[in-house]
Amino acid sequence: MLETPKKFTLVSGSAEGPSRLNAFDNALLAAGIGNVNLLRVSSILPPKAILVPHLEIIPGQLLPTAYGTITSDLAGEKIAAAVAVGIGEEDEYGVIMEFSGRCGREEAEETVAEMARAAFAQRKRTLKTVLVQSAEHQVESIGCAFAAVALWY
């Protein structure tokens, strides 16, 4: 059984690349998590998880992440990705919501924050804080926007 993460951080980045995968990889590098192996997780923040400015990770490690990403090869298109963390009572779990779309940063942030509010309402819980992180990108050739909540031990 895997250990429950105790820390989390929000990261984002955007970049161009010669291929869709290279654009994604470059966006990960811009976000500061390009040299790890992402484990995509669903959207629950463990109870008592602590927000940290960055994670002490080494290349090749497995990193649980909840993320939104979008890649486009339509020159001139504006794309954005965002994540939101909804936090309630200190001893309770939180929620993580992800969004990506053909829109700007502001729309992505508003959308993902509303998703966090809706998730708390559905659970009939009191929301105290919403943290949001996003990336916007104007596509030149092949671009990617990426935003994530990375969880760590």
Catalytic pick among 37, 89, 106, 140: 37
> Which of 79, 86, 83, 71 is CA-nearest to residue 120?
86
What mean pLDDT, rounded, does the chain reach? 97
Residue 26 falls in the annotated catalytic set:
no
Residue 72 falls in the annotated catalytic set:
no
Instruction: Name all domains of the chain by residue range, CATH numbers in brackets.
Output: 7-152 (3.50.20.10)
The Cα 17–Cα 27 span in angstroms is: 9
Q: Which residues lie below 8 Å from residue 26, measured CB to CB, with a gap of 6+?
A: 15, 16, 17, 34, 144
Q: What is the pTM of this model?
A: 0.96
The Cα 64–Cα 52 span in angstroms is: 15
**pLDDT in the model for residue 84:** 98
The Cα 128–Cα 137 span in angstroms is: 30
Binned at pLDDT 50, 70 and 90, residue 1 comes out as confident
Residue 42 falls in the annotated catalytic set:
yes
| Phi-psi sector, 55: left (phi>0), alpha (psi -120 to 50), beta | beta
Residue 134 falls in the annotated catalytic set:
no
Catalytic pick among 98, 109, 134, 136: 98
